[in-house]
């Protein structure tokens, strides 16, 4: 998107000191959250005095409010731009697609702003999804961007002659939010960031088609078609909250674990660019000399950290898959894997965020039949290889099309949906809801995506 195409900045701010300060403030908000956003910190980044900054913003809360309004206006601009491309007689599903595409485009255009939006006032003002779904839903209680999607889903429901079930509307809304947020996050901070802009948009549109197909059937039938397992299996695990500096370090393995945790904390706080052996050692409260004995430089630490976190993610996935009865349909394994992915995010938010940002491996299979082995020239990582294989098996069992593109796009559609829930549950709008609800809403989101996958691929019922 060039400068002429980009939605305009807030009136009167273009090129101004205030806009520059807002721009720097988004960096603080996106990386450190609400607590990191202060007038002195923003002024320091912007290269102006605190006194000058205070002539523009009366307080930290004022700055936070204006940053939030700036980001919300920017998102609306990208969505409106997509809506203006539609013909006058555009269908409601076309309008839904335009809203989703606008959200995705604003993320690609400026990942920093996208990250800040997830932590802006929009997220803090988002009503508890749990209370809304489980009690008396108020469809007007949501922020403007979400309200647009809700209204389109209500109109689509009425157009199909179905009664408006508000709780169902909210579950459908979360499916939309999870999918588009998951894809946008993977394309900006996750493994899809390595793809070309064209490949990112092609992946997004293909995955979105899977979502919309499942969504339309859900609306027509008036309920979410449930797939097994309906809920996560086993004991819910407590989140790991121990800081690197507080971890034991009596043995070599314990020191290594503390360094890995320190490195993950650095990535979360400063991004991958800020990760060095020195920074990880300082974060963990260990001598740099000790870190150098364990890792041969910054690159080695980064690689080993990715392997370490990928293994932890894989074990969470395998744990849920182990509860699936032998001979169960491939779709059951896919859903169990999704629960495992979410469980990893909820029990180790720091490790989850760090893993997504440092992931560097291939996500595009070279053929439908290869299992991530000899025909695959790039390491896909254990967790992603497992996901690719169970999606391939599900397609094969149901006599679906044996196409590499089909395998890739359906894998991304399903992964993005559970990644979106996981991301929203760790630093987004679902952080205020409890773990059990996150699993319940994730179950319905995955159900809608699996229904779409069956439709898109014309799979034979298992």
Of 82, 99, 125, the residue that ends a domain is 125
pLDDT tens digits along 281-298:
999 999 999 999 999 999
Q: Is residue 158 part of a domain?
A: no
pLDDT tens digits along 63-81:
999 999 999 999 999 999 9
> CA torsion angle for 98, 99, 104, 105 (degrees, to 10)?
60
Other C-beta atoms closer than 10 Å to the C-beta of 40 total 12
The tokens for 451 are 């229904």
- The answer to whether residues 372 and 380 touch, using CB atoms and an 8 Å cutoff, is yes
**Whether residue 437 sits in one domain with residue 295:** yes
Of 84, 106, 125, the residue that ends a domain is 125
Average the pLDDT over 319-345 and give the result.
Answer: 94
Q: Is residue 316 part of a domain?
A: yes
**Cα–Cα distance, 340 to 239 (Å, whole number):** 14
**Cα–Cα distance, 393 to 369 (Å, whole number):** 10
Residue 326 has what DSSP assignment?
A: T
**Cα–Cα distance, 142 to 217 (Å, whole number):** 25
Q: Count up the domains in the chain and report the number.
A: 2
At 107, which CATH number?
A: 1.10.357.10
Q: Provide CB contacts within 8 A for 1, sequence distance 6+.
A: 105, 109
Structural domain boundaries, residue 111: 19-125
Residue 211: is its pLDDT beyond 80? yes
Average the pLDDT over 301-322 and give the result.
Answer: 95
Least confident range of 69-78, 343-352, 374-383: 374-383
Helix (H) or strand (E) holding 73: helix 60-83
Q: What is the pTM of this model?
A: 0.90
Find the DSSP H helices in 84-159: 92-109, 111-117, 121-125, 129-134, 144-159
Q: Report which of 448, 410, 459 is spatially closest to residue 207, judged by C-alpha positions.
A: 410
pLDDT band at 452 (very low <50, low <70, confident <90, very high): very high
The tokens for 408 are 């890739």
Average the pLDDT over 310-330 and give the result.
Answer: 94
Least confident range of 3-12, 227-236, 431-440: 3-12
Asked if omega into 229 is within 30° of 0 (cis), the reply is yes
pLDDT band at 460 (very low <50, low <70, confident <90, very high): low
pLDDT tens digits along 19-67:
999 999 999 999 888 899 999 999 999 999 999 999 999 999 999 999 9
Residue-averaged pLDDT of the chain: 89
Residues in the chain: 462
The tokens for 38 are 């202060």
Q: Is residue 186 part of a domain?
A: no
The HSE-up count of residue 15 (CA atoms within 13 Å, CB side) is: 0
pLDDT band at 379 (very low <50, low <70, confident <90, very high): low
**Cα–Cα distance, 198 to 204 (Å, whole number):** 10
Of 103, 125, 147, the residue that ends a domain is 125
* pLDDT reported for residue 376: 40
pLDDT tens digits along 131-186:
787 777 888 888 888 999 999 999 999 999 999 999 999 999 999 999 999 999 99
């Amino acid at each position: 998107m060039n400068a002429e195409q980009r939605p305009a900045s807030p009136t009167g701010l273009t090129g101004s000191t205030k806009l520059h300060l807002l721009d720097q403030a988004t960096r603080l908000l996106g990386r450190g959250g609400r607590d990191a956003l202060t007038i002195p910190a923003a002024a320091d980044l912007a290269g102006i005095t605190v006194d000058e900054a205070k002539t523009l913003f009366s307080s930290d809360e004022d700055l936070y409010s204006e940053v939030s309004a700036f980001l919300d206006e920017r998102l609306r601009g990208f969505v409106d731009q997509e809506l203006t491309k539609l013909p006058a007689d555009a269908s409601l599903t076309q309008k839904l697609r335009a809203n989703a595409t606008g959200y995705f485009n604003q993320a690609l255009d400026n990942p920093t702003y996208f990250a800040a939006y997830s932590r802006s006032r929009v997220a803090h003002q988002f009503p508890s999804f749990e209370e809304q779904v489980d009690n008396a839903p108020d469809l007007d209680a949501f922020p403007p961007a979400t309200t647009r999607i809700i209204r389109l889903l209500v109109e689509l429901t009425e157009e199909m002659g179905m009664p408006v079930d508000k709780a169902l509307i909210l579950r459908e809304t979360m499916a939309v939010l999870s999918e588009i947020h998951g894809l946008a996050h993977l394309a900006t901070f996750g493994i899809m960031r390595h793809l070309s802009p064209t490949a990112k948009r092609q992946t997004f549109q293909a995955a979105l088609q899977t979502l919309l197909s499942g969504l339309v059937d859900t609306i027509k039938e008036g309920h979410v078609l449930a797939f097994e397992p309906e809920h996560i299996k086993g004991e819910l695990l407590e989140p790991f909250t121990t800081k690197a500096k507080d971890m034991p370090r009596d043995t070599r393995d314990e020191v290594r674990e503390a360094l890995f945790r320190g490195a993950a904390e650095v990535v979360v706080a400063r991004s991958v660019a800020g990760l060095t052996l020195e920074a990880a050692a300082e974060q963990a409260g260990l001598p740099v000399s000790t870190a150098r004995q364990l890792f041969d430089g910054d690159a080695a630490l980064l690689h080993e950290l990715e392997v370490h976190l990928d293994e932890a993610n894989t074990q969470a996935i395998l744990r849920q898959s182990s509860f699936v009865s032998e001979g169960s349909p491939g779709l059951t394994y896919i859903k169990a894997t999704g629960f495992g992915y979410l469980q990893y995010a909820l029990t180790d938010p720091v490790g989850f965020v760090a893993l997504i940002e440092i992931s560097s491996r291939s996500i595009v299979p070279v053929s439908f039949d290869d299992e991530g082995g000899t025909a695959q020239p790039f390491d896909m990582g254990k967790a992603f290889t497992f996901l690719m294989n169970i999606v391939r098996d599900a397609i094969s069992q149901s006599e679906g099309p044996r196409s590499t593109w089909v395998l890739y796009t359906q894998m991304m559609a399903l992964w993005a949906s559970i990644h979106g829930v996981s991301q929203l549950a760790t630093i987004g709008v679902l952080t205020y809801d409890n773990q059990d609800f996150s699993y319940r809403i994730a179950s319905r989101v995955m159900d809608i995506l699996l229904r779409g996958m069956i439709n898109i691929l014309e799979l034979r019922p298992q």
